[in-house]
Structure 1
C-alpha cells in the first residue's frame, strides 16, 4: 500500500509539472532545464571576403599571416619536443585562454581552453576588457610540467598560475601568487632554478612620468608554486633608455641561448607606438643591458595610409622552430579603410634571425606582407584535416554535433548555462539579463575575422511579450553594439535593428514580420559599412536600417582590448 501511494504521488507530481508547462507555455530542454520562449538556431554561416587575400593568392611554399585571425591578442608559445602550444588573452570571455597546438608553426588546431571551469575563471561581474590578461605558457623540462601564468583582473585572483602534465587533458585550479603588477612570465633554468618576471609600477617616490613602469624578477619556488619573499629585484627601469621616457615596458619573457640570458619586452603601449625590445645578461637576475639596435620589431615608422596596413606590432614571444630557426609570435592589427580596429588584435608570426648576439624579427622593421615562406619541409594544411583555416574561408555550423566548436564562446559565464544542443538545432535559453549589463548573458559569440564578411544565422522563434528578444548581435562591449532580432509589440511580431552607443540605444529600423517559418538574419560588412538583412524564404535578403557605421564596433571608438564579436543572442528582459 505504501509503494502504491508513492507511485500515485509521483504521477501527481509529473501531472503538476505537465500542467504548469502547458499553462505557462514552457518546454523541457534536453538537459532537463525548463525553458521559456527559447529560440532555436539551425544554421550559422560565416564567410570572409577580404581583398588582401584575393589580391595575394598563395604560391607554392607560402602561408598567410596572421596565423590566428580575429581577436586573439597577446600570444605566448612554448615547445615540448615536436609539440608547440600557443595561448592568447581572453579578458571576460568564457571559457578563457584559448589554447592551440601545432607541430610545424603553420598548421594549428584549437585543443580547448586553459580556463574552462568556474573554479578557474570568475569574470561574471567585470567588463569585457577586464578579466584575463597576457597569459604566458611555459614547459618545464625539469619536472615535465606545463605552466600557464597570467593576471586575472576579477574574482580576487590577481596574478595566478595553473599547470598540467598534458595540455589536452585539462589544467589545475589556480594558485594565487603574492606579487603585484601584470604580465607575469616564468623562466626555468637548466639547473632547476625558476624565476617569475613581470611588469610593475615603480615606487611612488621614484615615478618620473606617466607610463613609467619597471620589470621585476623573483625567485620561484617550484615545489610550492610561490615566489620567494624578499627576492624581488628591478631589472629594467622605464625601458631601453629612461631619459627618453619610454612608456609601458611590459610583457617580459626570458630566454637562454649560448649560456647567456635574454630579456624581451614590449615597449610603447599596445597602440601606434608599440614595439618589441631586447636586453642581455650573464645572469637571470641581471644586470641587463639593452641591444644597441632596439626595437627589434615595430610597425610604427611607416606612412599611415600604406597599403595592406599592419600596425601595433609587439607583445611577442620566441620559440625554436622545427627547422632549427627561431620564430616569434606577436600581436598586430589590420584596420579597415577608416583606420578603425574591428577585428581586434590578431596573432602574427615571423621568422627571427638570431645569428648575431641579439635576435631580430625578419622583415619586422618594414611594412609587413600578408604571406610568408613555409618552414622547410612543412606542408600547408590550413583549413584541412581539422586545422584552423586562414585567408578567406567559410565557417559553417548546423549544430548537429553534441558538443560546440571551440570557436564559440560565452561572456562572463559558461556556455553550458544557456546552450542546449537539441535534435532541432541549438537552443539558447534566455537569461533575465541583456547585453547592456555587466552580467553573464545568453549569447554565443563568434569572432569577426575579416574586414569584409557576411554572417547569417537561421532562427526559429516566437516571442511571447515585448520583453522577449532573440536574434544576432555585433558586439564590441556592453556600451557599444548592434542588436538585430525579433520581439513582440501587442499582438504583432517585429524585426528590429538597434544601435547602442555610449550606453544609449536607438532603433534604426523595424518591420512587422511573420514567425511561422524560420527567419535568416544576416550581417554583411564591407570595411566600415555594415548592413543588416533578413530573409523569410531562405533565398533573397531584404535590408533593414540601411548602411550603418562600424565605428561603435572599433576599439578606436569603444576603447578596450577586444575585437568585434558576432553573437547568437536571446533575453527575457529586452529593452
Structure 2
C-alpha cells in the first residue's frame, strides 16, 4: 500500500490486493502542520508534511530516515544551547550554505543563506561558535582551490565577506579547540594547521598528524579518499571521525572510521571496531553512508548525523540521516540504528519546530536563499529576479538552461509534480526543467511560436506552440518516469506533451559533480519572463 496525497490536503489509502494495515498509528498533528492529522498511517511509510513532502517525525515518539530528504550532503552541525544549527555542501548553488534550525534534532526549518557571493563550488564546511561568534570554514573548488572563512555575530547574519586562508591543496576543514585553548583546522588526509586566535588566518604550515585506518583491499570502494574529519571532545578524549572509501561509486564504498587521543596534539589511535558505519550490501535502504558528526541531544543522549544515497535514488543526492549512538565501557562508541530502514525512537526533550517548508510559491516575496537558488550564477545574477503583483519577474539570460543560470529547488520526494503559469516577452524563451547541471537536464520550454524540448542536456524537437506567449506547464516525475503537460486555459484543460522521459541516470555516478536532479525554471533569450502560481505536490 502507499499513501496518496492530493491538492485538497487530505489522505487516502491505495490498497493493493486487499492488504491489511500494518499496525495503524495516529499522527498527533499537535504542531498544526499535518494535513489529515488523525488519519491512520502505516509503519514503513513517512509522515507527510507540507504538500505531502516526506517528514521524518512520525508523530508518535519515533522518526524514520531521511532526517532531511533530498540533497543535504556533508552535514555540519552546531549545538548552541537549546538550539541546533546545521548546513550542508551547496556546491554551485547560490545563495549557498542555508542555515537550518532545530530544537529537537528531528524537525528542521531553513532560515537564511550565509554565503551570497559566488566563490566557487562549495564543499564540506565546518560550522562553529567560538567566544560568542559564529564561523563557517568553507572549502571551494575554483581556480585556484582554497579554504575561506566567514563570520557573524548572529546565526542569521549578516555574514562577513569571505576571507581566503590560502590552503589550495586541502578540503573539508574542521575547526577544533585544544585542551590548551589553541584553535586548529583539521583537514582532509589526516593533516591540520593552526589558526590565529581570532580564527581568521592561519599560523605556520600544514602538518600531517594522523594516518587513517585502511579497509581490506577486497572491499568494493571508490577510493581511499580520507576526508571530512570531525572533532568531538567527550569524556576526556578527542575523537576524530573521518570518511574513507569515496563519496559515491559502489554503494559499499563510503564509510565512517574513528580515532581518538587524550590531546588535540595526538597521538591518534584507531578504533579496533572500524569502520563504525558502512553499507555492506546493495540490498540495504541507504547506500554510501558516511561523513559523520556527533551531537548531544536535549535529553543528554548522543547521536550521529551523516549522509547517504537512497537505494535506487541517486538522483535525490546524498540525504541527511540520523543514527543513535551508544558510548561503550572502553570509551569508544557504537552506532545503534542498524541499516536505518526502520523507525527509531526520537531523542526526548526539546521543542518540535515546523519541519521543512512549502515548495509552492505565490511569489509575493522573493525567497532566494531559503527556497530558491541560482545555479552557478555570475556577478549580479540576483538582480535578474524580482517580484511584482504576485509574479516572479526573471530577466532573460543566455539561450537555454545550459547558460541561463536557472532557479532551482531541492525536492526530496521519490515522486512529485510541479507546475507554473509562464508568460514570456517577445523574443523570450522560458520553461520548467529537471536540472542536474548545465550538461544534464530535461524539461520543456517555449517561445511564442514553438516548444523547445530539453533532453539529455540538449535542445531537441521544436514542435508548434498552440498557446502563444502564455501557458501553464506541468512536469511529473514519478520515480524517474517523466511526463509533461501543457495548458492554455490556466490548468482547466491539460494536454500531454508528446515526449516522455526516463531520468534514473541523471546523477553523480553518470555525470559527476555530487549534485541532485532538481525542479526549476529558466528564462532565456530576450526580455523577461513572468512566473505565477508555482505549485509543488508530492505524490
The aligned runs of 1:536-575 (5 Å cut-off) are 536-537=488-489, 538-572=491-525
Is 1:369 aligned to 2:369, yes or no? no
Structure 1 counterpart of 2:365 = 401
Q: Give 2:175's aligned residue.
A: 186
Partner Cα separation in structure 2 for residue 191 and residue 430 of structure 1: 55
Distance 1:446 1:370 in 2: 28
Q: What is the match of residue 203 of structure 2?
A: 228
- Give the superposition deviation at 1:555: 2.2
| Structure 2: unaligned runs, 5 residues or longer | 1-6, 15-21, 23-40, 48-57, 528-539
1:275-308 CA deviation, whole Å, 9 max, x = no partner?
A: 1110011221211111111111122x12x245xx
What's 1:126 paired with?
none
What SS does structure 2 have at the residue aligned with 1:553? Answer: coil
Confirm or deny that 1:531 pairs with 2:519.
Answer: no
Match of 1:313 in 2: 289
Matched, 1:418 2:384: yes
Match of 2:244 in 1: 267
2:436 matches 1:459: no
Q: Indicate the SS of the match to 1:315.
A: strand
What does 1:397-546 correspond to in 2, within 5 Å?
397-401=361-365, 403-404=367-368, 406-413=370-377, 416-437=382-403, 441-462=404-425, 464-465=426-427, 468-488=428-448, 493-501=449-457, 504-507=458-461, 510-515=463-468, 518-537=470-489, 538-546=491-499
For residues 296-349 of structure 1, what are the alpha-carbon distances to aligned partners after superposition, in whole Å with 9 as ceiling and x for unaligned? 1122x12x245xx211111111111111111111111114xxx35111111111
In structure 1, the residue corresponding to 2:460 is in which secondary structure? strand
Equivalent in the alignment of 1:167: 155
- Distance, in Å, in 2 between the alignment partners of 1:112 and 1:59 is 27
2: CA distance, partners of 1:400 / 1:558: 36
Matched, 1:137 2:127: yes
Q: Over residues 40-99 of structure 1, what are the superposed CA-to-partner deviations in whole Å (9 max), with x where a residue is unaligned?
A: xxxxx9x9x999997525351123422221121111101121121101001111111111
**TM-score normalised to the size of structure 2?**
0.81
Per-residue CA distance 1:327-385 (angstroms, 9 max, x = gap): 111111114xxx3511111111122212441122222xx3222533221135655xx4x
Count residues in correspondence: 471
Pairs within 5 Å for 1:243-258: 247-258=224-235
More helix by share: 1
Deviation, 1:515, is 2.7
Q: 1:112–1:379: structure 2 CA closer, same or farther, 3 Å change rule?
A: closer
- The residue number in structure 1 matching 2:19 is none
- Whole-angstrom distance in 2 between the partners of 1:359 and 1:240: 19
How much has 1:195 moved relative to structure 2?
1.2
Residues 93-112 of structure 1: matches in 2 within 5 Å?
93-112=93-112
CA distance in 2 between counterparts of 1:133 and 1:405 reads 17
The structural deviation recorded for 1:269 is: 0.5
CA–CA separation in structure 2 for the residues paired with 1:424 and 1:114: 26
Q: Decide whether aligned partners of structure 1 residues 370 and 530 sit closer, same or farther in structure 2, where only a CA change above 3 A counts.
A: farther
Is contact 1:122–1:412 with CA below 8 Å preserved after alignment?
no
1:482 and 1:498 in contact (8 A); partners too: yes
Q: Distance in 2 between matches of 1:362 and 1:415?
A: 46
Q: Distance in 1 between matches of 2:467 and 2:400?
A: 24
Residue 101 of structure 1 contacts residue 111 of structure 1 at CA under 8 Å; is this kept in 2?
yes
C-alpha offsets along residues 508-540 of structure 1, whole Å, 9 cap, x if unaligned? x73431236x42211111112111111222123
Closer/same/farther in 2, CA of residues 324 and 192 from structure 1, 3 Å limit:
same
Partners of 1:224 and 1:75 lie apart in 2 by 21
Query: Quick check: 1:325 aligned with 2:325?
Result: no
> Structure 1 residues 247, 377: closer, same or farther in 2, change over 3 A?
same
1:218 counterpart residue number: 193
Task: Give the SS at the match of 1:510.
Answer: coil
| Separation of aligned partners in 1, 2:460 and 2:366 | 38
Shift of 1:241: 6.0
CA contact (8 A) 1:122 1:155 kept: no
Larger Rg: 1
Deviation at 1:431, TM superposition (A): 1.2
Q: Give the whole-Å Cα distance in 2 for the aligned partners of 1:353 and 1:293.
A: 13
In the alignment, the residues of structure 2 paired with residue 149 and residue 242 of structure 1 have an alpha-carbon distance, to the nearest angstrom, of 33
SS in 1 for 2:474: strand
Measure how far apart 1:397 and its partner are: 1.2
Query: Shift in Å at residue 475 of structure 1?
Result: 0.7
Residue 405 of structure 1 deviates from its aligned partner by 6.8
Name the counterpart of 1:27: none
Compute the displacement of 1:229 (Å). Answer: 1.1
User: Cα–Cα, structure 1 residues 198 and 324, in superposed 2: closer, same or farther, change >3 Å?
Assistant: same
What is the deviation of 1:404? 4.5
Confirm or deny: 8 A CA contact 2:298 2:350 kept in the other structure.
no
Structure 1 residues 242 and 281: CA distance shift in structure 2, 3 A: farther
Contact residue 409 and residue 415 of structure 1 kept, 8 A: no
Query: How far apart, in 1, do the equivalents of 2:328 and 2:152 lie?
Result: 34
SS in 2 for 1:280: strand
The match for 2:321 among 342, 348, 352 is 348
Structure 1 pair 293–190 and aligned structure 2 pair: CA distance change class (3 A): same
The 1:259–1:244 alpha-carbon spacing in structure 2 relative to 1, beyond 3 Å, is farther
Describe the SS at the equivalent of 1:314. strand
Q: 1:512 to 1:505 in 2, by over 3 A?
A: closer
Which of structures 1 and 2 has the larger relative contact order (alpha carbons within 8 angstroms, sep 6+)? 1
* Counterpart-to-counterpart distance in 1, 2:187 and 2:162: 18
CA-atom RMSD in angstroms: 2.8
User: SS at 1:533's partner residue?
Assistant: strand
